[in-house]
Amino acid sequence: MTKRKIFIISNRLPINIIKKKEQLKFKPSAGGLATGLSSLYKKYSSQWMGWPGIVPVNDAEKKHIVKSLKTENMLPVFLSKQDIDEYYEGFSNRTIWPLFHYFTQYSIYNQKQWDAYIKVNKVFCEELTNKVKPNDIIWIHDYHLMLLPKMIRERTPNATIGFFLHIPFPSFEIFRLLPWRKEILEGLLGADLIGFHTYDYGRHFVSSVTQITGYESKMFQINHADRITRVDCFPMGIDYEKFASAPKKQAVIRERNRYLQRLANQKIILSIDRLDYSKGLLERLDAFHQFLHDYPEYREKISLVLVVVPSRAKVESYRKLKHQLDEYVGRINGEHGTVAWLPIIYMYRSFSFNTISALYSIADIALITPLRDGMNLVAKEYIANKNDSGGVLILSELAGSAGEMGEALLINPNNQRDIIRTIKNALEMPEDEQLKRNKEMQTKLKRYNINRWGEDFIERLNQTKQLQSTMVIKRIHKKTLDFILDTYDKAERRLIFLDYDGTLVPFKKNPEDANPDGELINLLNQLSISEKNELVLISGRDKNTMNQWFGDMDFNLVAEHGAWLRQKNKQWNVIEPFSNDWKKEIYPVLELYVERTPGSFIEEKEFSLVWHYRKADVGLGELRARELTGTATDLTGNLDLQILEGNKIIEVKNSGINKGRAALNWLKSENWSFVLAIGDDWTDEDLFKVLPDSAFSIRVGFKSTLAKHNIKSFEQVRNLLRKFVQKK
């Protein structure tokens, strides 16, 4: 049997291609992601797709790259220099990177770069859809490709798609600054599972989705269209054994001894980071500088080994940061250094694994203080390296890894006094305490290593697909649709119940804006013209609104969920006399919630009161809705009232009123050869409940229901009605 294939999609392939003397040299990348996914290669027939890191100058070079990478199960996506400048250096790293790391002052919003981002995501989509099969798994990585999940979904609706974001996802207040915020969210929601390093990032994402798109979420599960997307956190691990065993390697020992000769009798503080404003490098130097002032007894007894890995040299903010670092290191060394001692040993370059391992090994303290970081694997690598020795990790609480590494000394990177105090505590910490703290962290890192991270994500992705398969069994397929149309066509007498809001028109923030458009009016007229049809528009709207919109049309109307009925060409009648005395007791309660919930308002109908919160802040609205439901339930216990929780509304009404009871007026009037009811919320469940077994019932949206079928949206409802009209 053929193995199920997994496609790993990332901006870059885990390969470095260098051109020397017209020859292309290939060298595998030793990055954490490549290591982490290696175990999945054994379970699946895998392919890795991404940019190879070089812009070929001719077709011959392209063919050579494709052929060479094929043996490594890699699929290159070729991009132009302009693509790299505008999509990668531009939108990805000058818009998304600073914004998602809370450096809004560095974010630029350039339409041309956004267009390039769309274009490159489409290029990846084209390359992938030519190769992917229905049973394959697609796992997309990071912020460069956030539009890709939806693009693939549109091409292959049943695909298994996972997405993992390796950087922070910002709070709604930050994310909303992005001009293309909705497009990014819709792009990501094409995935079945979206993974983040921490719960906070996932929480921020879900909050942005509910605030911007209006989709509902529950327990990190987002309901949209006819699918659910799951959100979960998977803290990325490291290759623990690789770093734990490194100090015993001869090459690492040689490097270690070389450094110790130079740094004899020094306490060593190690700082390793890529050049980036999010890493807090200047703030780190500032704290160390002040430490030397505050505790002069440590002069000539400690050294800060500052390793900065070059990054994004073309970006102006990075060049400026490099210049500031150079100046500040020189100033500190000039102020405090001696002939025999430099406070800061500054190295601006990349290092081999052996050299990095040697530095981890000799460091008494690892000082890792990013202002914002998706995860930060350096912290984990340092602790793994300290398998048999002491060492203290000082870690920013704003790094993703802080959530797992509570035994480290956590600091606020913006609090200089906190950093200084913590450095002193670290220097004075007894070795037995160091070993104890490190042991607890090592146990966790060893258990949830990089391989377990990758396997965990894929396992959760498969579980999500299984969940979806159980939830979409009522979806209308072509065979079912054909049967409905055929039954309609043959029927001599047809009864059709249609809800209004959410079924025939989309929801609006202002309910009065959801008035019927010309196309809908024409559809309803066409349906009602046929002598075979009895059309009933059955809504929660008040009778005055229904009369204003549909009063001169030749079909039946039901208002206020069944309180009022108007058979065609007749007057409005109440289904039975009801008392409204309860309103004077309930109205002040609703007013209190309007005052406490900006954007909410009260709608008064003849036999009900409705508290709307569609225009309120999503989180606050949902909180107040839960509070109001509880309060109203207590108040109405002896008043024969019912509390309805609709789409962004809480409605209080007489308990004898519901759509099912109203529908019986037509259901019992004659023997119908075709009955259909379509609605979108749980007030329509009363209608579905009273239908005969032979009836067709459809609920709009992806919700559990008594209806026999689910349909995606109001657009699909209209498409069905158009097909009815064509049948006559």
- Residues labelled as active-site residues: 499
Q: Give the separation between CA 483 and CA 224, rounded to whole angstroms.
A: 27
Interval 326-381: pLDDT, tens:
999 999 999 999 988 999 999 999 889 999 999 999 999 999 999 999 999 999 99
CATH number of domain containing 423? 3.40.50.2000
- The reported pLDDT for the residue numbered 1 is 45
Q: Clarify whether residues 518 and 593 are in a common domain.
A: no
Beta bridge partners of 556: 536
> Are both 697 and 718 inside the same structural domain?
yes
Could you give the CA distance from residue 14 to residue 30 in angstroms, rounded to a whole number? 8
Q: Which domain holds residue 541?
A: 478-576+656-727
Residue 325 lies in a domain: yes
Regarding whether 186 and 174 lie in a shared domain, the answer is yes
CB atoms within 10 A of CB 261: 8
Average pLDDT of the chain to the nearest whole number? 91
Residues 312, 211: one domain? Answer: no
Same domain assignment for residues 269 and 311? yes
pLDDT tens-digit readout, 671-684: 999 999 999 988 89
- The answer as to whether 96 is a domain residue is yes
Residue 687 placed within a domain: yes
Number of domains in the chain: 4
Q: Is residue 471 part of a domain?
A: no
Q: Are 672 and 685 in contact (CB under 8 A)?
A: no
Contact 83, 56 (CB under 8 A): no
Contact (Cβ atoms closer than 8 angstroms) between residue 345 and residue 270? no
Separation of alpha carbons 504 and 715, rounded Å: 8
Helix, strand, coil percentages (3-state) for the chain, rounded to 5, are 45, 20, 30
Regarding whether 75 and 61 lie in a shared domain, the answer is yes
* Inside any domain, residue 455: no
Nearest CA-CA partner of 410 in 423, 425, 391, 395: 395
- Using the Cα atoms of residue 219, residue 223, residue 226 and residue 231 in order, give the sign of their dihedral: negative
- For 14-28, 558-572, 591-605, which range has the lowest pLDDT when averaged over its residues? 14-28
CA atoms within a 13 Å half-sphere pointing along the CA-CB vector of 584: 3
pLDDT digits (tens, 9 = 90+) for 151-172: 999 999 999 999 999 999 999 9
Q: How far is CA 602 from CA 404, 543, 584, 605, 608, in A?
A: 46, 17, 14, 10, 11
Find the CATH number of the domain harbouring 692: 3.40.50.1000
248-274 pLDDT, tens digit per residue, is: 999 999 999 999 988 878 999 999 999
Task: Summarize pLDDT for 194-244 with one digit per residue, the tens.
Answer: 999 999 999 999 999 988 988 888 888 998 866 889 999 999 999 899 999
Lowest mean pLDDT among 325-329, 384-388, 535-539: 384-388
pLDDT tens digits, residue range 418-450? 999 999 999 999 999 999 999 999 999 999 888
Mind listing the pLDDT tens digit for each residue in 461-513?
A: 999 998 887 765 577 778 899 999 999 999 999 999 999 999 999 988 888 88
- For residues 439 and 541, membership in a common domain is answered with no
Looking at the fold, whether 361 and 432 belong to one and the same domain comes out as yes
- Is the separation of the CB atoms in 328 and 285 below 8 Å? yes
Is the CB of residue 298 less than 8 Å from the CB of residue 291?
A: yes
Q: Higher model confidence: residue 83 or residue 472?
A: 83
Q: pLDDT by residue (tens digit) across 387-424?
A: 888 999 999 999 999 999 999 999 999 999 999 999 99
Considering Cα of 395, then 397, then 401, then 405, what sign does the dihedral take?
Answer: positive
